[in-house]
Chain A
Amino acid sequence: MKGLIIKDLMSLRKMRATFVFVTVSSFVITVMALISARCGNIALAEREYLAGGTDLQMSPVHMLWYAVAVMVILPLATIGDTLTLAFEADKNSGFEAVAGALPLSVKQRVTARFITLFLTCGTGTVISLALSFILSLFTDIMTLGDFAGLVLSAASLILIFSALEMILIFLLKMNNADSVRIIALLIMTAVFIISASGRIIDAMRAMKTTELITDGLIFLENRWFILACAAAVCLLISYFVSTGVAERKRGEI
């Protein structure tokens, strides 16, 4: 099983390069923006806004908070594709035939894929948390707890997305990676809209869409454990469904 995980990690080399590039870039941009908020142009704009010398609808620091949140989530988003990339790599090379002849059970093969997902997502989370710690030293806009909450929420969302992808790949025998990604995203979006429909309608009626974003960010920063629990449930369901289906449809997937 360890061999399959190693193979999956090798096939994700491209993703690793993207992750490093996005992480370094977003880290550098965020540090520069935070320094600017302390003693640069953003700090000047904030002072002007507070003095009422500008017609901006929102405080520059508040806008910066949105941007920093996106920058913190961005690196993790690049590893959201781990599963489909690994499946695609196997499919393109015809590795399924080789895997079927290896001294491994179907369950071990599915488990290996989940472990690969945990390893990539775990590594991404740890790196993002470490960078968040550094970022928290540069600003008062967000505490380390806020940064960590955002990172853990993003990691949980990625795990939920991957759990959905896994079910789509196994249960629906979907071979097209793009369809898998789109359907998983649509399901998550639908769940979000349904669960927050009241808030969304209220914000739309009051023409205060930014409040919706602010509420969303506050939720991600402080209620990450709700998403983490949802991710754990989704992953458990996904694992049992995937192993069951893979065993039943052995040779086809």
Chain B
Amino acid sequence: MDNYTNVIELDNVVKDYGDFKLDNISFDVPMGSVCGFIGQNGAGKTTTIRILLDVIRADSGEIRLFGEDVKGNAPRLREDIGVVYDEMGFHEFMTAKDINIMMKHIYKNWDEKVFFDYLKKFSLPSKKKCGDFSRGMRMKLQIAVAMSHNAKLLVLDEPTAGLDPIVRNEILDIFREFVLEEDHSIFISSHITGDLEKIADEVVFIDGGRIFLKGNKDEILESHGILKCRKDELDSISKSLIVNVQEGAFGIDVLINDRKAAAKLYPELVIDRASLEEIMLFYVASSRR
């Protein structure tokens, strides 16, 4: 039995590039969960992923994978991690067969039967150059590679970006199937919040290199709401409930952080459920004010 509860633990991680800084990033990804890492382009998602994989070193802070410090252990720990990027990364002249030959000499647990089964399942040709694959096929090829060495954790960096809704749904189904195993976890970064709303258990919001919200997705969706009011009603709303305010053509939208409390305090006002995208937009606007 594995003696860890979180597959990923980041504790006060700092990385300063001068023009961009990851500022005291801390969050955990519990084993068996799907954690969505939400932020717009340039928010620091890829940098965080590169740090947690030990591709780049943090200036300070602690990073643990499967309960172990990544420093000095990263190559061994990466045996259990499947990584999918938004771009394929394999040489265009390579066929899936070539990739199999390469990977079976890299991963100790590489299972070529599983790999070719995935190719069949995803309808990917094994002898066609992957440079001739469509974007959807390239993503599926990466996923097949990531899932063919008995990985316990999938780290996915914008895996559904630029894909049509049908392929996106297919890919999300693959991820859902992966986490059916109780020790399998997924850390998925995306700015397509709709996908994360479908699949994530936990969410971490990042903007400008800072985490501004994290927690259980359902709890976050449950607690947040968009209160609709007029300008003159805004002053009566408790400031502690307000995350941010947006003025619209027909009134004011207020993102509140405690929907139940707001409903009790202001029963005459309409409070809608907020989507992850709306929560992200309100928080980002709030932090930039």
Contacts and interface: CB of A to CB of B under 8 A. Distances in A.
Interface in B74-116: 74-79, 81, 83, 85, 87-94, 98, 101-108
B93 A95 contact: no
B285 interface: no
B85 A3 contact: no
A95 B108 CA distance: 20
B86 to A, nearest CB: 10
Nearest to B51: A251
Interface residues of A, number: 27
A11 B93 contact: yes
Given A3-B103, A102-B78, A108-B75, A10 B85 contact: no
Contacts of A1: 105-106
Contact of A3 (B56, B81, B106): B106
Nearest to A95: B89
Interface string A89-129: 11011110110111111001000000000000000000000
A105 B75 contact: yes
Chain A binding surface SS class: helix
A251 B49 CA distance: 12
Contacts of A252: 56
B50 interface: yes
B90 A100 contact: no
Interface in A1-15: 1-4, 6-7, 10-11, 13
A250 interface: yes
A199 to B, nearest CB: 46
24 contacts: A1-B105, A2-B105, A3-B106, A4-B102, A6-B105, A93-B89, A93-B90, A94-B89, A97-B85, A98-B85, A98-B89, A100-B53, A100-B55, A101-B53, A101-B155, A102-B78, A102-B107, A103-B75, A103-B79, A103-B106, A108-B75, A250-B56, A251-B56, A252-B56
Interface of B: 50, 53, 55-57, 74-79, 81, 83, 85, 87-94, 98, 101-108, 155
Interface of A: 1-4, 6-7, 10-11, 13, 89-90, 92-95, 97-98, 100-105, 108, 250-252
